[in-house]
A and B are shown apart, each in its own frame.
Chain A
Amino acid sequence: MSMLRDAIMQAFGEHVRFDHGLHPSSVATCLVSRDRFGEAAKVMKKAYALLAAEWAADETLLGRGYGVFACYRWGNEYLIVKTEVPSDDAWFPSLSRRFVPAFRFERQIMSLMGITPAGNPDVRPWIKFEDWPEDAWPLRKSFDAAQQMPRVRGEYPWTRAEGEGVYEIPVGPVHAGIIEPGHFRFQAVGEDVINLEERLGYVHKGIEKKFESLAWQDGVKLAGRVSGDTTVAHSIAYCRSLESMTGCPVPQRGHWLRALFLERERIANHLGDIGAICNDAAFAFMLYQLSRLKELLLRTNLRLFGHRFIMDRVIPGGVAVDIDPAGKREIFAEMELLHKEFERLVLIYDENPSLEDRVRDTGILKPAAARELCVVGVVARASGLNLDCRIFHPFPPYDRHDWMQLDVPVLISGDVHARAWVRIQEVRESFRIIRKILEDMPDGDISVPCAQPPADTTGFSAVEGWRGEIIYWLQSGPSGEVNRCMVRDPSGVNWLGLELAVLGNIVPDFPLCNKSFNQSYSGHDL
């Protein structure tokens, strides 16, 4: 299908240039002039596309200015629209009027790359903090990552709410639990939340910049540490993006093992999440029982694959660890046990009225809003959006739809229960898929050596991690080195959903809403 490609061809005619050298071939990249970048967004919006990501790349080493990219998704088609921005006149038309999440992407582009999104009403810094000099653009090639930054005084202009009885509750960035840092500022009247503003960036580590100083082979290790709980999915996304640049023929068994790791990661995290959601409603029993099941799974990972979270086991060209028949038997037995116990716990979740009272109708993200915000993954599927890269942008064995018959749960209520229930269904599906993968896994090599990518090429991949779609976009420089690595964790868009879902709820229900989203801070801040 090429709905988006056709739409843009029709609207732009000869004014759009398709870059056929870009990889993978299924994901087209087209170049439009800067003035018509916004118009392209309008065409995409009309074609019902969602904005998947927006980013910029410094292409001065490649003899160009900056490149600003917007990636759109509709069904199983991704289309990247690029515009070129000269370095002495660094601005581009904002897409925030067409696509809501663009405003955060653009704030990020503004803060880190120093390209002004013209027409974006909100140009407050994002991720970069106000105590950095305003003209320090860490993602530009001219920025030396080793330098010490001087501290400047600055103030972050928060959204204000005034009126009788309105008060503010600042929460974080350091929280009471063992979680990552992030600041939430509530404006409330009594217990009713009238506005929530998130402030992230406290775990900004310069990951995207760091990629540029690493060799291609080493980048996968860093990708595996973008968000520790999603290490498998991030590694796969990085590897697939790199492999798309070089046309690396990953052996089937390598693909299948990746899928196995991916599903195991999904189960482990969903088990933890379902328990944590219940625990935030003070139903601790579920947390401890599900944590126990998760622990069993992690220990099997350690025994069979050498790492509890299967970190660093996915490498460019395949995977680093194989599974033997004894290992298969162990996983079969484990799946049997976990599945049985899991179903018992689901029954408790499902039949406890006091718990049901808490999770239903709490933190509703309406389907229309979910679409506007272009959310992905579990959050999207709980709000009526049928998105799943395992179906729409699959790698083997997911591409064998008839064989796998993946049943992706989509609910429309958009509340905490829906997000919990989508997870429950996905765990069930993953139990089934893992068995299927183990039964039919092809023999052969698990990896092949991968060639170095040629100069000035790009690679793209989208992989369904347990939170949702992870996008990697790689670009090689003039001598074939890493020029840019763009990472879009699901958290990059889903955090917006939380701001909207919590409106109209009461303050003490926020933790429950937040836990049902459970987005990554590290994956967002990069």
Chain B
Amino acid sequence: MNLYPFMTEILQIMIVLGISPAFVGWVRMLKCWSQGRTSAGVFQPYRDIRKLFAKNVVLAENASWVFRFTPYLVFGTTVLAGGIIPMLSVDLPLSATADVIVLVALFAIARFFIALAGMDIGTAFGGMGSSREMTIASLAEPAMLMAIFTLSLACRSTSLSQIVTVIFSGQIQLRPYLAFAFLAFVLISLAETGRIPVDNPATHLELTMVHEAMILEYSGRHLALIEWAGMMKLMLFMALGAVLFFPWGIDVTSTAAGALRAFLFLLLKLGASGVVLVLIETGLAKMRLFRLTEFLGSAFLLATLGMLAYYILD
């Protein structure tokens, strides 16, 4: 039996778990530098997570099972999503069984439960955050699907491995629809991962929060899991963008050397995506909440244009 796919699968999940805090640390470090500050270093998120795990959980008296269960579910679905995206190799067992629609659904499940948990305690902030998150989700998810369907159409498959293989093999060259889909994907990623200009991950202002408002009541290991899942989600979106639109370096040969090379390329691409992210975040203020509809509407429009461009031009 060929052990390679299983080994890469395990390796990839380890990478997602292990590297995501460093990636967030890298983004924060760049951000500090861009603002002329000294940073806490790449490894600060690890220390934060360790600190949170060591702390006791403070539960509200009226917390139901939804509230206690959500951190594990969110963490689980995010790890699973990490197993689906072909980051090192296209030869992934999970990637063969779960396609891109499953990926979007996994994120949707996590979001659904976190929104429920936000309302579970009954504080005003939690409900406010959940309502805003659902507004964003209802606009971002269709746009996300449209953007990825554009690629699926071109590659004649909804399997991520298949899409990456086709793009990597050079069967489709640089086309307008790819550019449209990519732009849409960038906008959606900012919304999905709660970055400026959609949400501000660093704010302490309860009234402006989206994601943070929902998890205000969490503490200890629950918060650690949610924070960690958030870090993974950010890294997964960057990695997804990297493999879909810039698949260079990915291992299609199913060899250990190929996987190692793919890993190095992945690091490079993540590093570069961090730079781009920080440039966007430093240069922009957060949007007014109701500007989001325009922002995500244009993402949807771009994705739709991509799809039209595919039909018209190809």
Q: Which residues of A contact B (CB under 8 A)?
A: 167-171, 176-177, 191, 278, 280-285, 288-289, 292, 352, 354-355, 357-358, 362, 506-511
Contact = CB atoms under 8 A, between A and B. Distances in A.
A289 B35 contact: yes
Interface in B168-226: 196-197, 200, 202-208
Interface stretch (B86-94, B139-147, B282-290): B282-290
Given A354-B284, A355-B285, A511-B207, A285 B290 contact: no
Given A283-B285, A352-B283, 8 more contacts: A168-B124, A169-B207, A280-B205, A282-B203, A282-B285, A284-B202, A354-B284, A511-B207
Contact of A354 (B37, B127, B197, B207): B197
Nearest to A283: B285
A355 B291 CA distance: 13
16 contacts: A169-B207, A171-B206, A176-B204, A176-B206, A191-B290, A278-B285, A280-B205, A283-B285, A283-B286, A284-B35, A354-B287, A357-B288, A508-B208, A508-B289, A509-B288, A511-B207
Contacts, number: 77
B104 to A, nearest CB: 27
Nearest to A358: B285
Of B127, B197, B205, the most chain A CB neighbours within 10 A belong to B205
B262 interface: no
A358 B290 CA distance: 11
A283 B287 CA distance: 11
Contacts of B205: 176-177, 280, 511
Interface of B: 34-37, 124-125, 127-128, 196-197, 200, 202-208, 282-291
Contacts of A355: 285
Contacts of B206: 171, 176
Given A169-B128, A170-B124, A281 B286 contact: yes
Contact of A507 (B34, B207, B285): B207
A283 B203 CA distance: 11
Contacts of A288: 35-37
Contacts of A278: 285
Contact of B285 (A170, A191, A289, A354): A354
Contacts of A169: 124-125, 128, 207
Contact of B291 (A357, A362, A510, A511): A357
9 closest A-B pairs by CB:
A282-B286, A176-B204, A282-B200, A281-B285, A283-B285, A169-B124, A355-B285, A511-B205, A508-B208
Contacts of A171: 206-207
B289 A282 contact: no
Contacts of B288: 357-358, 362, 506, 508-509
B207 A508 contact: yes
B204 A358 contact: no
A514 to B, nearest CB: 9
A511 B285 contact: no
B124 A506 contact: no
B286 A285 contact: no
A167 B124 contact: yes
Nearest to B124: A169
Given A191-B290, A357-B291, A508-B289, A285 B282 contact: yes
Nearest to A281: B285
Nearest to B125: A169
B102 to A, nearest CB: 33
Nearest to A362: B288
Of B34, B124, B202, the most chain A CB neighbours within 10 A belong to B124
A510 B128 CA distance: 14
A191 B210 CA distance: 13
A278 B282 CA distance: 12
A128 to B, nearest CB: 27
A289 B36 contact: yes
Contacts of A357: 285, 287-288, 291
Contacts of A506: 288-290
Nearest to A284: B35
A168 B206 CA distance: 14
Contacts of B208: 280, 508, 511
Contacts of B289: 191, 506, 508-509
Contacts of A280: 205, 208
B37 A358 contact: no
Contacts of A191: 289-290
B282 A282 contact: no
B124 A282 contact: no
B207 A292 contact: no
A162 B205 CA distance: 26
A168 B203 CA distance: 22
Nearest to A170: B124
B205 to A, nearest CB: 4
A358 B197 CA distance: 11
Of A191, A358, A508, A510, the most chain B CB neighbours within 10 A belong to A508
